[in-house]
Structure 1
Amino acid sequence: MADPDDLKALWDGDPDLVGRDFRSADLSGVDLSGRDLSKANFEKANLKNANLHGVNLSGAKLTQANVQGANLTRAKMIQSAIVFVDFSGADLSYSDFSGSVLSKTSCNKTILTGANFSSAHFNEGTTFDNALADETTIFDKVSIFRPIAKGEAFRFYNVERGILSRKVDSEIDASDFIDTTEYQKKIEALQTIRRLETALQSASKYSPSKDTADPKTAAPGIGHNKPPLDEALTTAELATTFEALSALKVELSSKDPNEEVARRSFDELNSASKTVSKWIVAKADLFADEFVKSLGKEVGNLKNWIGFWMVASGQFSALLEIIASIFRF
């Protein structure tokens, strides 16, 4: 289990978390951007949808960690041992994994634009299925298990004696290059999905629902008797929304997307977006009235709760616009 003092330092915003113990900690959706986490222990930790932009994780232990959908843009994991880690759907753009060893690790559906894996080792069980890589992704001198090298992510590289070397221009087929405009739209869509998932997770932590809320963070009731507030999305609607987002991530990462699945997901998200927008309008006046009454700390929680839903609403709108453009709905 995580060390209580180390967790306190993390929650207090300490930028220097070198060598700290965060084993099995639930850090899903947490913003750790820019922190020095080198040599820290994240064994079995939950970092799903966490913001790890620009962090230093070099030498950190992430065995069996869940890093699905996390933002690891410009993160450093140099010469690290990465075993049984799930990076599925994470954004690894411009990250540095040079010299690291990846074993039985999922990099499926990751964004790899500009990522540097030079001199890394990709051992058996490591996968890059439907990963978005292009000519800026660096796999020079990677030691690779041969079946892995057959993946689409490595189309700009040859493999000789288990080592990747970049193809010369004459060996590269024009079809290996991706339509830049469409590629960037997909990247933007996946990044927006990640932000939306984080906002929805954060909003649920401030939920007033008695059966799911953390009493330390739950939003208070409103009014004389403080009855509980209604949800922006019901539990069932929230589950449907997450399922739709997951389905879209699959289609956006696929070379041959299923437009019927994408359309169904789009419609479900559009419905959720309208529900959240109506809820925000209804709650805006209510919150303003209560703020005037100076509810102090409780207003802070309510403000956070409504604020996260407002962020989610904006991300819904942005995502729907991008998806409509990609699939021409």
Structure 2
Amino acid sequence: MRHLSEEELLELWEQYREGKDASEVEKKGEILNAMWKNRISIPTLANLHLPKVDLCGMDLTYADLCGANLQNAILIGTIFVSADMIGVNCREANLGGSNFFDAEINEGNFAGANLAKVDFTEARAVGTVFTGADIGHGSILMDSDFSKADLSRASLQGAKFRGTNLSGANLKGADLRGAEELTAEQVRTAVIDRETKMPMYMKINWTANGEFECYVEYLE
């Protein structure tokens, strides 16, 4: 996109902001990137149709993305610090290396998304869907709230769980191998099944009635 003034970019944004076909969504992505590069304040993106948009590396700190459709979007390394993303749709989006520090993503949908090496420190993800998502490779969930989140069949290999609230979280079929600082108490408050893969230090003993005992085995 050629260099445009702030006024021209804002006029273009108003022209395309409600567009829903592929070419209009692509144009919205170009306009947003131009605004960011020219240090123009990003307008509200709440409830907007932005599937497959490319916003890699953009700084969306404090942005309003509530209810936005970012399904299949390319958001590698994008910064969502303290963003308001309640109800956002990021199904199958590529969010590798993104930063969600202190973000509000309650009731969102990240099913099948790439969230490898993502920072969720102090984020709120209550009731958010992460079914089948990749949240591994050292992703940070420290001091975050994932209560009632659906993490079934998600890969959480190597994720960091210090202080994470997992109360009522669905971990059925999740892969937690190599997870760091996961406690027995966190696991007890979550929902697991026999397909849940635990880190080596976490031991699960199933009882005949389908309940389980959980404890950490300290290696000498």
Provide Cα deviations, 1:24-79, integer angstroms capped at 9, x if missing partner: 01110000110111111101101100111011111111111000000110011102
* Identity within the alignment, %: 20
What is the SS of the residue equivalent to 2:35? Answer: helix
1:261 is aligned to none
Could you tell me which runs of 5 or more consecutive residues in structure 2 were left unpaired when the two chains were aligned: 1-31, 37-41, 213-220
What is the SS of the residue equivalent to 1:57? Answer: coil
Indicate whether 1:78 and 2:116 are aligned. yes
1:5 is aligned to 35
- Contact 1:3 1:22 survives alignment (8 Å): no
1:18 is aligned to 56
Question: How many angstroms apart in 2 are the aligned matches of 1:131 and 1:98?
Answer: 17
Q: In proportion to residue count, which structure has more helix?
A: 1
1:46 is aligned to 84
Q: Which amino acid aligns with 1:107?
A: F
2:101 is aligned to 63
Structure 1 residue 154 displacement after superposition: 5.1
TM-score calculated relative to the size of structure 2: 0.67
Structure 1 residue 137 displacement after superposition: 1.4
2:140 is aligned to 101
Structure 1 residue 157 displacement after superposition: 6.0
Indicate whether 1:173 and 2:211 are aligned. no
Large movers: runs of 4+ above 4 Å: 10-14, 154-160
Question: How many angstroms apart in 2 are the aligned matches of 1:74 and 1:152?
Answer: 21
- Contact 1:3 1:21 survives alignment (8 Å): no
1:132 to 159, 167, 170: 170
Indicate whether 1:148 and 2:148 are aligned. no
Structure 1 residue 12 displacement after superposition: 8.4
Question: How many angstroms apart in 2 are the aligned matches of 1:37 and 1:103?
Answer: 22
Measured on the aligned residues, the alpha-carbon RMSD in Å equals 2.7
Could you tell me which runs of 5 or more consecutive residues in structure 1 were left unpaired when the two chains were aligned: 178-329
Matches within 5 A, 1:244-255: none
Structure 1 residue 5 displacement after superposition: 1.4
Q: Which amino acid aligns with 2:128?
A: A
- Contact 1:119 1:139 survives alignment (8 Å): yes
Provide Cα deviations, 1:289-308, integer angstroms capped at 9, x if missing partner: xxxxxxxxxxxxxxxxxxxx
- Contact 2:176 2:199 survives alignment (8 Å): no
